[in-house]
Amino acid sequence: MKQRLLSVGEQGSHHVFTQNKRITQLGKSGQIEDAIKVFTQMAQKNTVTYNSMISEMPERDSVSWTTMINGYVRVGKLDEARDLLNEMPYRNIGAQTAMISGYIQCNKLDEARKLFDEISTWDVVCWNAMIAGYAHHGRINEALCLSKQMVNKDKVTWNTIISCYAQVGQMDSAVEIFEEMEEKDLVSWNSLIAGFMLNGQNLDALKSYALMGHEGEKADQLSFACGLSSCATIAALQVGKQLHQVVVKSDIDVTLASLTSHIRNAFHISEVTA
């Protein structure tokens, strides 16, 4: 078995070596787009891969710069990604947002915010990345404060704000935002339903669940999880049984572990009371 694993590892290393060589050849022949295509399709990359992309593209455009920064961020090489960003002759918002996302993934929110503040013109993706980053790491007040500075909010922004208000117990504000949204999606409904459940307003959670179905939005695992948990909490056994039958007939994973996990993930909480 050990020999077999070594063989698989050697094959993987050889494949990376071959692809690295191909990137170098394409770069030297001026086929930059093909080099980028090979790079993005590689399942495994090493330091040589990134160095090959950098060294063989003397006339790097904004797309190639951003591709490289994204690549470094994905493998957790933030220092290398930042070095590339600093070298860019003209920083574009895509590259800056990729760097911000990398900092957020590694819980370096202050560095992410510092870079965010250095940007002269933000787009909606950049705004949402920073706001969601604060929310994900529990810095709710900062998320809400930053969201108030954003002029052109989209559905993603509003969904994050609903979740933020729910996490600090301000369900009236969450409901107000939800009702003012011109377009709602499943995330919007789940944010509201999970927010009610998180704050012990289980009857409101069930009412929202029912209204969601009436509006034609199809429930997912999180919706079912919050509905079942709310039924159990208020001892609405008959409703719970009916809901469970719907879940069983669907193709959704209905194990307790799965449902509980979805509730936890909704607000990044460690326990769920059911």
Summarize pLDDT for 33-60 with one digit per residue, the tens: 677 778 777 777 777 777 766 665 555 5
Q: What's the chain's average pLDDT?
A: 80
Q: Which residues contact 90 (CB under 8 A, 6 or more apart)?
A: 62
CATH of the domain at 130: 1.25.40
Domain boundary among 181, 198, 214: 181
Query: 273 or 216, which is more confident?
Result: 216
Domain boundary among 152, 181, 210: 181
pLDDT for the residue numbered 180: 95
The contacts found for 159-162 with CB under 8 angstroms, 24 or more apart, are: 159/185, 159/187, 159/188, 159/191, 160/128, 160/131, 160/132, 160/135, 161/131, 162/188, 162/191, 162/192, 162/195
The separation between CA 93 and the C-alpha centre of its own chain, rounded to angstroms, equals: 18
| DSSP assignments along 227-242, one per residue | HHHHHHHTT-HHHHHH
Domain range for 222: 184-274
Q: Is residue 6 part of a domain?
A: no
pLDDT for the residue numbered 273: 38
| Whether residue 193 is found in the same domain as residue 153 | no
Q: What angle do CA 186, 191, 196 make, to 5 degrees?
A: 130
**65-109 pLDDT per residue, tens:** 787 788 788 878 899 889 889 988 778 899 999 999 999 999 999
Instruction: Name the residue among 56, 37, 50 with its Cα closest to residue 76.
Output: 50
| Whether residue 261 is found in the same domain as residue 202 | yes
Q: Is residue 90 part of a domain?
A: no
Q: Is residue 9 part of a domain?
A: no
Q: What percent of the chain has pLDDT over 70?
A: 73
Query: 213 or 36, which is more confident?
Result: 213
| Whether residue 209 is found in the same domain as residue 229 | yes
Q: Is residue 53 part of a domain?
A: no
Helical H runs in 31-122?
32-41, 47-55, 62-74, 78-87, 93-105, 109-118
Average pLDDT over residues 22-36: 73
Q: Is residue 215 part of a domain?
A: yes
| Whether residue 155 is found in the same domain as residue 240 | no
| Whether residue 200 is found in the same domain as residue 264 | yes
Q: Which residues contact 244 (CB under 8 A, 6 or more apart)?
A: 228, 254
Taking CA atoms, 136 is separated from 9, 35, 164, 246, in Å, by: 36, 35, 9, 31
Read off the pLDDT band of 189 (50, 70, 90).
very high
What gap in Å lies between CA 245 and CA 272, rounded to an integer?
22
| Whether residue 209 is found in the same domain as residue 235 | yes
Largest CA distance in the chain: 70
| Whether residue 205 is found in the same domain as residue 254 | yes
| Whether residue 194 is found in the same domain as residue 245 | yes
**123-173 pLDDT per residue, tens:** 999 999 999 999 999 999 999 999 999 999 999 999 999 999 999 999 999
| Whether residue 190 is found in the same domain as residue 243 | yes
Q: Is residue 213 part of a domain?
A: yes
Domain boundary among 181, 201, 222: 181
| Whether residue 177 is found in the same domain as residue 190 | no
| Whether residue 235 is found in the same domain as residue 262 | yes
Contact 182, 155 (CB under 8 A): no
Query: 69 or 181, which is more confident?
Result: 181
Q: Is residue 251 part of a domain?
A: yes
Q: Is residue 109 part of a domain?
A: no
Residue 249 has pLDDT above 50, yes or no: yes
pLDDT for the residue numbered 14: 65
66-75, 186-195, 197-206, 211-220: least confidently modelled range:
66-75
Question: How many folded domains does the chain comprise?
Answer: 2
| Whether residue 175 is found in the same domain as residue 212 | no
Contact 107, 137 (CB under 8 A): yes
pLDDT for the residue numbered 265: 56
